[in-house]
Amino acid sequence: MRLTVIGTGYLGAVHAACMADIGHEVLGVDVDPGKIRALSEGRPPFYEPGLDDVLTGAIASGRLRFSTSLSEAAAFGEVHFVCVGTPQQADSDAADLRHVEAVIDGLAPHLTRPCLVVGKSTVPVGTTPRLAARLASGAPAGAHVEIAWNPEFLREGFAVADTLRPDRIVAGVTSAGADRMLREVYAPMLAADVPYISTDPATAELVKVAANSFLATKISFINAMAEVCDASGADVVTLADALGHDTRIGRRFLHAGLGFGGGCLPKDIRAFTARAGELGVGEAVRFLHEVDHINLRQRQRTVALARELSGGSLSGLRIAVLGATFKPDSDDVRDSPALAVAAAVHGEGAQVRVHDPEGIGNARSAQPQLRYEADVTTACEGADLVLHLTEWSAYREIDPVKLARVVRTPRLLDARNHLDAARWRSAGWQVRTPGRPALAVLPGPQRGTASGHSARECAAVPAAPAEGTVLSRSPK
For binding to ligand UGA (CB under 6 A), which residues are involved? Answer: 122, 152-156, 212, 215, 219, 253-255, 257, 259-262, 264-265, 268, 326-327
Shortest distance, position 314 Cβ to ligand UGA, whole Å: 23
Question: Annotated catalytic residue: which of 18, 264, 380, 458?
Answer: 264
Shortest distance, position 230 Cβ to ligand UGA, whole Å: 16
Shortest distance, position 391 Cβ to ligand UGA, whole Å: 7
Reduced to 3 states (helix: H, G, I; strand: E, B; else coil), residue 84 is coil
* Cβ atoms of 340 and 299 closer than 8 Å: yes
Most distant CA pair in the chain, distance: 76
Sheet strands (E) in 94-187 = 115-119, 145-149, 169-172
Beta carbon nearer to ligand UGA, 21 or 156: 156
Beta carbon nearer to ligand UGA, 212 or 310: 212
E strand or H helix that includes residue 199 = strand 196-199
On the 0-12 / 13-18 / 19+ scale of CB atoms within 10 A, 3 is buried
User: How many Å separate Cα 460 from the centre of its chain?
Assistant: 29
| Annotated catalytic residue 458 | no
* Cβ atoms of 327 and 264 closer than 8 Å: no
Shortest distance, position 89 Cβ to ligand UGA, whole Å: 17
Beta carbon nearer to ligand UGA, 10 or 66: 10
On the 0-12 / 13-18 / 19+ scale of CB atoms within 10 A, 40 is middle
Shortest distance, position 150 Cβ to ligand UGA, whole Å: 13
The CA-atom distances, in angstroms, between 333 and each of 56, 214, 324, 349, 436 are 26, 22, 7, 22, 27
Query: Within a 13 Å sphere around the CA of 461, how many CA atoms are in the beta-carbon half?
Result: 23
Beta carbon nearer to ligand UGA, 196 or 253: 253
Shortest distance, position 261 Cβ to ligand UGA, whole Å: 4
Beta carbon nearer to ligand UGA, 254 or 431: 254
Beta carbon nearer to ligand UGA, 38 or 258: 258
**b/e code 57-76 from CB counts within 10 Å (16+ = b):** ebbeeebbbbbeebeebbeb
The catalytic residue positions are: 264
